[in-house]
């Protein structure tokens, strides 16, 4: 083979090798693009399914609220006593909790306390009980997840229920502050002091204790300094792992 022919062969082999490398790279690029497209397609399908499920949950919750909510409002309107009306109001708030929990985040501690205060004010005013609520200006305002917000809300709701149904009180005082990284919520009424001893309050008190434990906190009932009952709830401001 002449040097010229050898040169041509070498060049041809080089071109063939370069073409092969280019083809392999192109094949790998196409395969990667197909995999990426498949992943994007799967993500779009998963997102579409999630959005469809969320829409269906929203529809079910809306139907539930409209149907049961209307019935509970009817019970409130037709109640023979303020206590019966309050039971229906509490159930209506429980129903709204279920609906609200499916939407977004509950917000910060201040947001949750504002909702609790507004609900308590309405329920107590409906039975001619005056609410005096004060939150410390120095109270931290951390975000609350759904579970912690729900437990806090339900504990105060049950405490208000006990006042309305058993205490024969005219005034309720709530003080909210922070000590040693603990939220302290103190609720005192000027009633008979019979609320925590009423037979019907038993399961409610157990539920309050269980919810306080879920918050890694505690709850105590003592006699108020001027009569009535004092409820003290404490809970860590920051979530406790495992709680």
Mean pLDDT of the chain: 80
d(CA 164, CA 192): 12
Q: Which of 26-40, 76-90, 123-137, 154-168 has the lowest mean pLDDT?
A: 76-90
What is the tens place of the pLDDT at every residue in 25-75?
878 888 878 887 777 777 777 767 766 655 666 665 555 555 665 666 666
- CATH number 3.30.565.10 given to 107-236: yes
Say if strands 229-236 and 130-135 run parallel, antiparallel, or are unpaired.
Answer: unpaired
Model pLDDT, residue 64: 58
The gap from C-alpha 159 to its chain's centroid, in whole angstroms, comes to 19
Model pLDDT, residue 153: 92
d(CA 243, CA 241): 6
d(CA 241, CA 108): 19
Query: pLDDT-derived band of residue 195, with 50, 70 and 90 as boundaries?
Result: low
What are the Cα distances from residue 11, in Å, to 2, 22, 25, 34? 14, 16, 21, 34
Rounded to a whole number of angstroms, the CA Rg of the chain reads: 32
What's phi and psi for 171, nearest 5 deg? -140, 145
Q: Between 179 and 6, where is the model more confident? A: 179
Nearest CA to 113 out of 165, 183, 170, 182 is that of: 183
Cβ burial 190-227 (10 Å sphere, 16+ → b, else e) = bbebebbeeeebeebbeebeebbeebbbebebeebeee
Query: pLDDT-derived band of residue 114, with 50, 70 and 90 as boundaries?
Result: very high
Whole-number percent of the chain with pLDDT over 90: 40
**Three-class DSSP category at 179:** strand
Query: pLDDT-derived band of residue 140, with 50, 70 and 90 as boundaries?
Result: very high
């Amino acid at each position: 083979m002449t040097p010229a022919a050898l040169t041509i062969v070498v060049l041809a082999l080089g071109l063939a090798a370069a073409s092969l490398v280019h083809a392999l790279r192109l094949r790998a690029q196409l395969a990667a693009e197909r995999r990426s497209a498949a992943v994007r397609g799967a993500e779009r399908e998963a997102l579409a399914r999630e959005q469809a499920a969320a829409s269906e949950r929203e529809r079910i919750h809306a139907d539930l609220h409209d149907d049961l909510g209307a019935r509970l409002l009817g019970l409130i309107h037709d109640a023979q006593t303020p206590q019966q009306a309050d039971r229906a109001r509490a159930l209506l708030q429980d129903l709204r909790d279920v609906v609200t929990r499916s939407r977004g985040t509950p917000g910060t501690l201040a947001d949750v306390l504002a909702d609790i205060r507004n609900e308590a004010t309405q329920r107590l005013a409906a039975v001619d009980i005056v609410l005096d609520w004060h939150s410390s200006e120095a109270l931290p305002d951390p975000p609350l997840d759904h579970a912690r917000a729900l437990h806090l809300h339900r504990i105060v709701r049950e405490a208000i229920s006990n006042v309305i149904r058993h205490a024969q009180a005219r005034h309720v005082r709530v003080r909210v502050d922070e000590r040693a990284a603990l939220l302290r919520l103190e609720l005192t009424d000027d009633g008979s002091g019979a609320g925590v001893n009423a037979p019907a309050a038993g399961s409610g008190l157990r539920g309050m204790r269980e919810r306080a434990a879920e918050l890694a906190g505690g709850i105590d009932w003592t006699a108020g300094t001027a009569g009535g009952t004092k409820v003290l709830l404490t809970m860590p401001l920051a979530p406790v792992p495992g709680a």
